[in-house]
Amino acid sequence: MHIRYIDGRRLGRALAAGARRLVESAGLLDRINVFPVPDGDTGANMAATVLALSGGLSFAKVASVGGAARLAADAALSGSRGNSGAILAEFFQGLADDLVAEVRIGTKRFAAAAVHAADAARSALSLPREGTIITVLHDWSRAVHRIAQRSDDFIEILRESLVAAHASLERTPELLPELKKAGVVDAGALGFVRLIEGIIQYIQHGRLRETYADEFHADDAVRAGISDHESVPSDGAAPKYRYCVEAMVSAERIDAAAVRARLELQGDSVVVAGSALRVKAHVHSDDPPAIFRTLAEFGLVERHKADDMRLQTSRAAAGRRACAVIIDSACDMPDADRLRLGVETVPVQVIMDGTSRMDGTGVSSDEFIAYLASRPARHPTTSQPSTPSFARKFDLALAYADAAVYIGISEALSGTLEAGRRTAFASKEAARLRVVDSRQISVAAGLVARKAAEAAATGAGVDDVVAVAESAAARVKLLVAAPNLDGLLRSGRLHGMKGLAARLLGIRPILTIGPDGKAASDGMYFGARRGIAALLARVAAIVPAGAPLEAIVAHVDAAGDARTLVAALSARYSLESPIAITTVSPALATHGGLGIVVLGFLAPEPQPC
């Protein structure tokens, strides 16, 4: 059997088969992922990229190879994730650019396009490192070109070039010290080899198969010294930069080299893939909001993403758990707690001047406070996280846990919990996901999540973690002192004459959340400066002096008041742990306004009679 040409239909079916082979290997790729950061998500990222590619091709049957390549490239770019995903997307972009006018091609034309695509992938990186997917792309494409000079049979070319790709893959540990130390091959490079294996399998047999293990006896995982269920040991060292930041940028004309140069000043692992009209930017950085502001100078920024690599690497070092905990960013859990306990956070969307930003990683606390202080004509609003945001965080949590519990803010106040529930229900991992309504917001919800995450960290299973969360939700209390009524009036929390009277008389409310999960009043105080005393009085009415107290305090541009509250609580009660101070998420800050101080604490457990 000989295959002497490829058209659009053949290319589409071959890429679908290659994608399937890569997806089957995603777990292995995650386990051997050590470069550029051992964050354990290379397989998931490459799988997401090729699944998007395959999905893009499935919506249209294109006869020309150039048309199919363009569909594949555009879909891969939109769905690309991570360093290796962006490189793979740029490879297909280069392939599509070279084949744009072709209806069907032979081996020599394909070989020329493969070389062009590999070179394009290399050019997308600010600092290419040998021993990665870039090296294997180069070696494979040159082997294809060399073999095509003497053969017009695609089967022969792909089989022989796969041998060269395997040889290149085996050399990756000699080129990268990080790989040699861990005793593994490069995860991204292995992903590309698996893609080619799947294509060969399809071309030879003309059908998709459930498994390819019988066809390729020399398993790269065995070569790498990694068993089917073993992971590369991690020392848990923090990465140089904390966040893996990505976004799509669209404009009438984009200078990818200029984007790359700007990002190189703000981080490393820079990849800018795409066309003159649309690029996917990837960079490791400590300041995601600054990255997004930089990208906004070049065009419309969409599909923001910022994964916490410090959290991922520490979780990988800790090993697999029975259960993980996920929150949304309106649960104001202190950053130190989230890192210590391995808690993933789904970002709420903050809309400022009509532009949607990710809470925390898309807009910093200082930036949001400055925005509130400027009294914009268009007051900021918030929106629930997107389905892809939930799905991404669920996947990350489940990568190192048998099950996961999403603990969300009160369903009676926001659609965020229901959005998370829908995503969990629709997930292929639905059986491993549980959803708990904290019936709270801000630091009170954060306390519920912290108690659940502490149980998970000790090895508790999903049922026990849910039980701990529900018990904490029944005991937790939220108190909010809001000296500035502007936010409450604007949001409608204080209506008409009631709001006018409160302002004229100097009355300020103490806000809380009732047992039904809805906002309520827990008293009043007179004068904007008496909020801390009012909060202390309310706590004293619930918790006797000297009793154990577990609490978290948050604020919006009121650090001094927050410290005063913590000092007073510390002097009066026996603290189970120091009271952490954090900032209020925009979800509450938008309504409470500048100057609010928020206290969440656990009421004493009822004593038996």
Q: What is the mean pLDDT of the chain?
A: 87
Q: What is the pLDDT of residue 60?
A: 64
Residue-wise pLDDT for 85-144, tens only, equals 999 999 999 999 999 999 999 999 999 999 999 999 999 998 899 999 999 999 999 999
How many CB atoms lie under 10 A from the CB of residue 443? 32
- Tell me which of 30-39, 121-130, 374-383 is least confident: 374-383
- DSSP H stretches of helix in 80-186: 82-99, 107-123, 133-148, 154-175, 177-182
What pLDDT does 316 receive?
Answer: 81
**CB 272, CB 306: distance < 8 Å:** no
Residue 224 is predicted with a pLDDT of: 45
CA-wise closest residue to 285 among 239, 330, 343: 239
> 155: which 2 tokens?
């089967």
Distance CA 475, CA 561 (A): 25
pLDDT in tens, 258-283: 999 999 999 999 999 999 999 999 99
DSSP track, 231-289: ------PPPSSSEEEEEEEE-SS--HHHHHHHHHTT-EEEEEEE-SSEEEEEEEES-HH
Distance between CA atoms of residues 415 and 382, nearest Å: 11
Choose between 342 and 219: higher pLDDT. 342
Q: What is the 3-state secondary structure (H, E, C) of 39-88?
A: CCCHHHHHHHHHHHHHHHHHCCCCCCHHHHHHHHHHHHHHHCCHHHHHHH
pLDDT of 487: 56
Residues 58 and 71 sit within 8 Å (Cβ to Cβ): no
Closest residue by Cα to residue 486 from 587, 560, 596: 596
Mean pLDDT for the stretch of residues 406-410: 96
Strand partners, 580: 552
State the residue for tokens 């419309």: 300
Query: Is residue 495 scored above 50 in pLDDT?
Result: no
Convert the pLDDT of each residue in 470-494 to its tens digit: 999 999 999 998 876 555 545 554 4
Using the predicted structure, report yes or no on whether residue 234 has a pLDDT greater than 90: no
pLDDT of 57:
83
Reference 308, options 35, 554, 40; nearest CA is: 40
How confident is the model at residue 77, as a pLDDT? 93
- pLDDT at residue 220, as a whole number: 44
How high is the pLDDT of residue 522? 84
Tell me which residue has tokens 């509250």. Answer: 565
Highest mean pLDDT, choosing among 136-150, 224-238, 294-308:
136-150
Q: What domains can be seen in the chain, in order of their start residue?
A: 6-223 (1.25.40.340), 238-318 (3.30.70), 476-602 (3.30.1180.10)
Q: Is the pLDDT of residue 209 over 50?
A: no
Q: Is 605 exposed, middle or buried (0-12, 13-18, 19+ CB in 10 A)?
A: exposed
Q: How far is CA 557 from the centre of its chain?
A: 28
The pLDDT, as a whole number, for residue 260 is: 95
Q: What does pTM read for this prediction?
A: 0.84
- When pLDDT is cut at 50, 70 and 90, the band that residue 214 belongs to is very low
- DSSP state, 363? B
Report, as an integer, the average pLDDT of 522-532.
77
Arithmetic mean of pLDDT, 536-551: 93
- The vertex-428 CA angle with 423 and 434, nearest 5°, equals 55
Q: What is the pLDDT of residue 359?
A: 86
